Chains A and B, each alone.
Chain A
């Protein structure tokens, strides 16, 4: 999957999260920063850990080098790609 595909995957996953319910698909795909989406850092952490649970069956641990990337959408998408690539179990498409 390319970066655009991962933006869509992030948008779809966010829509399933309690704090992502008010965001439209277009908003998420166009956004540059997490702040634009109104996602707090605590919510970002919860989304990230829920993503690991959902797509990596909890087998991936947050890496220190991912933390600075969680402020902008490109960085978040890059982290999601790395989670999928690191998953012990095959990532769900």
Chain B
């Protein structure tokens, strides 16, 4: 997909992490749990020292993030035409059936249509952003909120060989005729059928990654070497470095280490968390090209962004 709406700015990102800071090794029987899932790897190599847990209902964190997005943008609830929720498949099954309604009522989104994008595991939020972008084909649409949310109710389910899962809700605002922080250049998600069958391999994972990256670069008329920074997924640190370099991305372009250490893998919200963290530390630069990258068994997603002139 290439962006047909160059006048749509994306900005006012806001994170609501789980309010309780936890250490993985404080999970009861952590050593035995890690031995069960780890294939003999040393947990210290993971690169995650803490994660955040939501102690209250998930919609409270979503509402908090959306309110902060609107406040930052100087937008009112009445301005918002659509809200697109993105979540991984397991979290979708955990959301209450009246989740969207509760969020709309709490924020006061009285003339706003809710949507949900899922079934693409941790790649769902990039597709949600693309969907939110496409809603601007209606000339009357001026503001769309996109929210990525993921959480895990039971601590023992947070620990897998490739990640420690944390809880977070992250929102951003797409606005017509506003530069925002970035604009979407191109976006793609591709499927690895071997991954869907649980038989993914180095070859199948590299194949889907190569196809996806090539698609966004081609659609965006960019070269790999033009990517200034990559907002990666917060998976096991060596795995994330390997995943990047295996498609030709340089290790020092990957931005994920600090947020992985503090928050773990927040499902489909990772690339947004890393974009925010990078902007706070270094600043998104006008005209630079940025890559958001998400992956999960069976899926790979990329989004190319350009820093907006502000």
Contact = CB atoms under 8 A, between A and B. Distances in A.
Nearest to A75: B202
A27 interface: no
Interface in A59-87: 61-64, 66-68, 70-71
Contacts of B251: 61
A54 B45 CA distance: 15
A91 interface: no
B196 interface: no
B40 A45 contact: no
B247 A43 contact: no
Interface string B229-250: 0000000101101100111101
A49 B241 contact: yes
B42 interface: yes
Contacts of A18: 40-42
Contacts of B241: 49, 62
Contact of B239 (A19, A45, A61, A63): A45
Contact of A61 (B162, B201, B250): B250
B203 A71 contact: yes
Given A18-B40, A62-B242, A46 B206 contact: no
Given A48-B242, A62-B242, A62-B245, A43 B206 contact: no
Chain A CB within 10 A, most for which of B40, B245, B251 = B40
A70 B204 CA distance: 13
A40 interface: yes
B99 interface: no
B282 interface: no
Contact of A42 (B39, B210, B247): B39
Chain A interface SS verdict (over half): helix
A89 to B, nearest CB: 17
B142 interface: no
B203 A43 contact: no
A67 B45 contact: no
Nearest to B206: A67
Contacts of A68: 202-203, 206
Contacts of A45: 238-239, 242
Nearest to B203: A68
B23 to A, nearest CB: 21
Given A19-B41, A43-B40, A61-B250, A67 B239 contact: no
Nearest to B252: A61
B39 A67 contact: no
A64 B247 contact: yes
B249 to A, nearest CB: 10
B161 interface: yes
Interface in B39-84: 39-42, 45
Chain B CB within 10 A, most for which of A40, A43, A44, A45 = A45
A71 B42 CA distance: 22
Given A19-B41, A49-B241, A70-B202, 16 more contacts: A19-B40, A41-B201, A42-B39, A42-B41, A45-B238, A45-B239, A46-B45, A48-B242, A49-B242, A61-B250, A62-B245, A64-B247, A64-B248, A68-B202, A68-B203, A68-B206
Closest 8 CB pairs of A and B: A19-B40, A62-B245, A40-B39, A45-B242, A67-B246, A67-B206, A49-B238, A68-B203
8 contacts: A19-B40, A40-B161, A43-B40, A49-B241, A64-B248, A67-B206, A68-B202, A70-B202
